[in-house]
Amino acid sequence: MMRKITLLVQLITCCLLLMGIAVNKNHRLFGHVLDRPEQEGHVDTIESVGSSDEWVTADGHRVVTTENIAKDITGFAGPIPLNIYLKDNRIDSIEVLENEETPGYMATVIDGGLLNSWDGMTPSQVLTAHVDGVTGATYSSNAIIGSVNRAMEYVNRQDTVATISATVSSQTGTTVDSRVSVSFWCSLIVVLVAMILPLFWRNRIYRVVQLVANVVVLGFWCHAFMSLSLLTGFVSNGVDVLVSLVPLLMIVAAFVYPFFNKREYYCSWICPFGSMQELIGRCVPYRVKMSARLIQVLTYFREILWIAIMVVMWLGVGFEIMNYELFTAFLLNQASTVIIVAAVVFALLSAIIPRPYCRFVCPTGSLVKFYQDTK
């Protein structure tokens, strides 16, 4: 009983840590704006159009922002607010505002040309058009598509155009269906199998198959993993359960399973980067013998690094540190060179040292370990 009480206290502590970071970074908590600093880029506003959701620029563009009207439409880590510029009642350009998505996902969306898909369309044309998401950033691109549709519904209502209720109903269904894609179902199956099957049956061959599925499906294909950026985004923006079902299950494995004596379950059975390190280690029989003293020093290093990261972000700076966790290396086309090189180095080290990144660096793993440490 005392162990579970300790776990509960430490879980609350972890939540408070993430809440403090979310408030410092985004001034939001579970989707509620705590304060609203002046937005950059509004200095050229010359006329209000009746609400804070739109304005007119000095050069005559009508700008509709989705920050409020589409705040319930989320990508992988939260809403993706947009400024949509219209000229002569046609979309001229779309600007992505600050958001919680992994930079690699957003780079994939922008480089894929999604933001130009509606150029020249009227609001009514947008609501009847079919725009495909970008492969490799499904959650992010679908959130943008849904937000553009919501904004154009707003424009039509504001302009008292003929009723669009049927269009709204149809488009809402399309948005939800598009999120439930093949990759979604595959990642959901992989996570559910990892969460359930090892509780009742363990086999060496099965474990290898599970590890491969974690790397290929969750890592390289679906880019599904738990990270500080994801956790902070959920705390800041709230959660769309349908869109975020897979990462939510990962969070359950990491933070609920320990109540049932399943410590480090997420790290051992689900994490794609941890799975890749273990697979590489299985291919090489040789292991470097590390002294107990060295292991202790490296463990202290991980703990000090994690404390430093938490303190820095609690002070309201250094939030970009979250983007340097090595999980983003699975986005090969968009991850930075530094991330890819670091991921390769730790992958090579894992051939002779079991899971070196997990054991001696990983900030997300450190958060999980802190929560589970009941000594």
Question: How much is the pLDDT for 91?
Answer: 93
| Number of alpha carbons in the 13 Å side-chain half-sphere of residue 361 | 17
Same domain (yes/no): 186, 134:
no
Query: Among the three residues 154, 179, 204, which one is the final residue of a domain in this structure?
Result: 179
Question: How much is the pLDDT for 112?
Answer: 83
Residue 61, amino acid: H
Distance CA 276, CA 279 (A): 5
Same domain (yes/no): 137, 236:
no
Contact between residue 41 and residue 63 where contact means Cβ atoms under 8 Å apart: no
Same domain (yes/no): 158, 240:
no
95 within a domain of the structure (yes/no): yes
Residues 6+ apart with CB under 8 A from 311: none
1 within a domain of the structure (yes/no): no
20 within a domain of the structure (yes/no): no
The side-by-side arrangement of strands in the sheet containing 62-65 is: 45-48, 54-57, 62-65, 82-87, 90-96
Same domain (yes/no): 159, 217:
no
Question: How much is the pLDDT for 206?
Answer: 96
253 within a domain of the structure (yes/no): yes
3-state secondary structure of 55: strand
Task: Domain count for the chain, please give it.
Answer: 2
Residue span of the structural domain in which 172 resides: 40-179
Question: How much is the pLDDT for 70?
Answer: 82
- pLDDT mean by block of 10 residues, the chain; 375 residues: 84 90 82 59 41 77 87 78 91 88 79 89 88 75 88 75 32 42 89 96 94 96 88 83 87 93 92 96 92 94 93 84 86 81 96 95 92 71
Rounded alpha-carbon distances, angstroms, from residue 32 to 97, 181, 242: 17, 29, 20
| Number of alpha carbons in the 13 Å side-chain half-sphere of residue 319 | 23
Q: What are phi and psi of 41, to 5 degrees?
A: 95, -5
Same domain (yes/no): 134, 191:
no
How many CB atoms neighbour CB 60 within 10 A?
10
> How many degrees, rounded to 5, is the angle at CA 295 between CA 291 and CA 296?
115
Same domain (yes/no): 149, 187:
no
CA 42 to chain centre: 28
Same domain (yes/no): 217, 330:
yes
Same domain (yes/no): 166, 139:
yes
75 within a domain of the structure (yes/no): yes
Same domain (yes/no): 67, 152:
yes
Query: Among the three residues 146, 179, 212, which one is the final residue of a domain in this structure?
Result: 179
Residue whose C-alpha is closest to residue 265's, from 214, 304, 311: 214
Give the burial class of 231: count Cβ atoms within 10 A of its Cβ; 0-12 exposed, 13-18 middle, 19 or more buried. Answer: buried
What is the greatest pairwise CA distance in the chain?
75
23 within a domain of the structure (yes/no): no
Distance CA 143, CA 74 (A): 5
100 within a domain of the structure (yes/no): yes
Same domain (yes/no): 201, 268:
yes
Q: What are phi and psi of 87, to 5 degrees?
A: -135, 125
Residue whose C-alpha is closest to residue 64's, from 36, 108, 95, 26: 95
Same domain (yes/no): 204, 344:
yes
Query: Among the three residues 179, 205, 240, which one is the final residue of a domain in this structure?
Result: 179
Question: How much is the pLDDT for 295?
Answer: 94
31 within a domain of the structure (yes/no): no
State the DSSP code for 299: H
Same domain (yes/no): 174, 196:
no
Tokens of 55: 């304005």
State the DSSP code for 60: S
Contact between residue 114 and residue 38 where contact means Cβ atoms under 8 Å apart: no
Contact between residue 267 and residue 343 where contact means Cβ atoms under 8 Å apart: no
DSSP string, 63-75: EEE-TTTTTT-B-
Q: What are phi and psi of 325, to 5 degrees?
A: -70, 145
Q: Which helix (H) or strand (E) holds 228?
A: helix 228-237
Question: How much is the pLDDT for 103?
Answer: 76
Contact between residue 309 and residue 363 where contact means Cβ atoms under 8 Å apart: yes
Question: How much is the pLDDT for 136?
Answer: 64
Q: Please state the pTM of the whole predicted model.
A: 0.70
